[in-house]
Amino acid sequence: MVAGLALGLAAWGAATGWAQPPVSPSPASTAEVVRSVEANPASAPQATAQAVAAGRSEDAAPIVGAVVGILQPADRRALAPSVVSAAIAALIVPDRTPVAPSVACAAIRAVPAPEQPGVVPAIVSAAVALAPQARPQIVACAIQAAPALIAAINDAAGGALAAQLEAATSPATPLPGNSIGLDSTLGPRQSCASPPCP
C-alpha cells in the first residue's frame, strides 16, 4: 500500500511538472531568429519584425541586440537601422514609446566600437522616427552606450520631425522686453477682417 501511494505521488508530480507550459513561450526563439539571419542576412529586418510581433514586448530588445550583433560589418551598417525600425513597428502601439529606447540601445551596444560612428546615428534616427515621443530617452540611452558620439547622436535625433515636435510642444513666448514685432516675425500674416484695422 505504501509503495502504491509513493508510485501514485511520483506519477502525479511528473504529470503536473510536464503539463506546465514553459516560462516564456514564444513562437520564434532568439536562437531561431539568429540562425535565420545568419543564413540570409538580408532578411534581418523581416525576421526581427516577425519574432517581435510573435513574442512579448520585453523580448524585443534582446532579439534586436542578437540580430545586430551577428551581422557582418557591411550588413550591420546597411541593415541595423532597418532592424530597429522593424522591431519598433512590430510592437503593439502602446508599447512603442516605452520600449523603443531599450530596442535602440540594444542595437547600439551590439555594434563594435570601431563601427559605431557609421551605424549609431542611423540607429538613433530610425528609432526617433518610429517613436518620436521617446526621443529624450533614446538620446540619453544612446549617449550612455556611445559617449564618444554625443554630437552625432544629437544631430541624428534632431531631424525635421523632432524639431517639428519640439516647436509644437513649446509655447511661442516673446523674449523679455522684446515683444514688439513678434507677430510679424513668428506668426502668419493676417489681413484685417473688417475696419478699423489695428
Return the C-alpha torsion angle 136, 138, 139, 144, nearest 10: 120
Nearest-angstrom CA–CA distance, 122 and 66: 18
pLDDT value of residue 41? 94
Q: Which domain holds residue 150?
A: 30-166
Q: How many domains does the chain have?
A: 1
pLDDT value of residue 174? 46
194 within domain boundaries: no
Pairwise pLDDT comparison (50 vs 166), residue with the higher score? 50
pTM of the full structure = 0.67
3 within domain boundaries: no
Nearest-angstrom CA–CA distance, 94 and 88: 11
Look at residue 190 and tell me whether its pLDDT is greater than 60.
no
97-109 pLDDT per residue, tens: 999 999 999 999 9
Whether the Cβ atoms of residue 131 and residue 89 lie closer than 8 Å to each other: no
153 Cβ neighbours under 8 A, 6+ residues apart: 120, 121, 124, 139, 142, 143, 146
Query: By percentage, how much of the chain surpasses pLDDT 90?
Result: 63
pLDDT value of residue 159? 54
31-79 pLDDT per residue, tens: 889 999 999 999 999 999 999 999 899 999 999 999 999 999 999 999 9
186 within domain boundaries: no
Look at residue 16 and tell me whether its pLDDT is greater than 80.
no
